[in-house]
Homo-oligomer: A and B are copies of this chain.
Amino acid sequence: MPFFCMGRRMTKYEMRQRGAAILIIGDEILSGRTQDTNTATIAKWLGLLGIAVREVRVVPDLQSEIVAAVRVLSARFDYVFTTGGIGPTHDDITADCMAAAFETGISYHPAVFEQLAARYATMNIGPFNEARQRMARIPFGASLIANSLSGAPGFQLGNVFVMAGIPAVMQAMLDDVRGRLASGRPLLSVTVSAYLGEGTIAAGLAQLQNQFPDVPMGSYPFGKDGKFGTSLVARDSDFYRLEHVRTALEGVIRDAGGEVVEV
């Protein structure tokens, strides 16, 4: 397919992009059975560290799909965060896929195995059977990501952080990841809203965007109490510049005949 090949060829000449990608692994997200919330959690958490999320992918529990996505994303971005597929059941294949993606081996990690064995022996949460032992399989060369909530760890392999799919466990793992990231200045945002249509503000907003080409600005419609309005959002890591932009956004709203409201 020429389109396809063209897309592929382009990317060979691209530089690795600053920022992160998120890879959500699991049929339950693709089927709509489970509403993903990890993306928003990770994105907001990274935003506070000054790391922008550049792409998100959701892939099924299929080795070929997971491996291909990890390779592409880890080559393109500073960091990749995966969630899902590290439990004890047959559809939990993420650890094997990471080993395959990085062309390394995988086996039972002695310390993790011991730790999990002790946990199951003392906590009356079932036997430490073959299925649960699988959670101690860690690719060679990986460093562990502690799981303060339920024991079974995630791991970091290269620039890929492999975490659980259960939101509370995933969030516990983020605590152990923070220190490993080269964080920047936190990305701040300002929001200015008015009961005006997007189309009424669009020209003024575009003009302001041209004045500040490196401060991303967006406009998002909202409805409240039966009335419709628009929120203008700008993002930057420089507090003072952003306050300047806030004043300018308020000017855009007034010039369009509206007034700034809290929503």
A contact set with B: CB distance below 8 Å: 1, 3-8, 10-12, 24, 26-37, 39-44, 47, 52-61, 64-65, 67-68, 71-72, 74-75, 87-91, 101, 103, 125-127, 129-132, 134-135, 166, 187, 189, 196-203, 205-206, 209, 216-221, 233, 235
Select which of B42, B89, B199, B205 is within 8 A of A206 by beta carbon.
B89
Select which of B11, B65, B132, B189 is within 8 A of A199 by beta carbon.
B132
**Pair A33/B87 contact, Cβ less than 8 Å:** no
User: 15 extra interchain contacts, Cβ-Cβ under 8 A, other than A87-B199, A91-B218?
Assistant: A3-B74, A3-B103, A4-B12, A7-B67, A7-B71, A10-B68, A27-B216, A29-B39, A30-B53, A31-B187, A33-B233, A36-B36, A55-B59, A131-B200, A131-B206
**Pair B35/A40 contact, Cβ less than 8 Å:** yes
**Pair A43/B30 contact, Cβ less than 8 Å:** yes
For A75, list chain B residues within 8 Å (CB): 1, 3-4
Contacts known (A27-B216, A197-B126); A131 close to B3, Cβ less than 8 A:
no
Q: How far, in angstroms, from A245 to B43 measured CA to CA in the complex?
A: 39
**Pair A131/B203 contact, Cβ less than 8 Å:** yes
| Minimum distance in angstroms from A17 CB to a CB of chain B | 10
Q: How far, in angstroms, from A158 to B53 measured CA to CA in the complex?
A: 30
Query: What are 24 of the A-B contact pairs (CB < 8 Å)?
Result: A3-B71, A4-B11, A4-B72, A27-B216, A30-B43, A30-B53, A30-B54, A30-B55, A31-B235, A32-B47, A33-B189, A36-B40, A55-B57, A55-B58, A57-B58, A61-B218, A88-B199, A89-B198, A89-B205, A90-B209, A91-B219, A129-B200, A129-B203, A132-B199
Q: How far, in angstroms, from A246 to B148 measured CA to CA in the complex?
A: 35
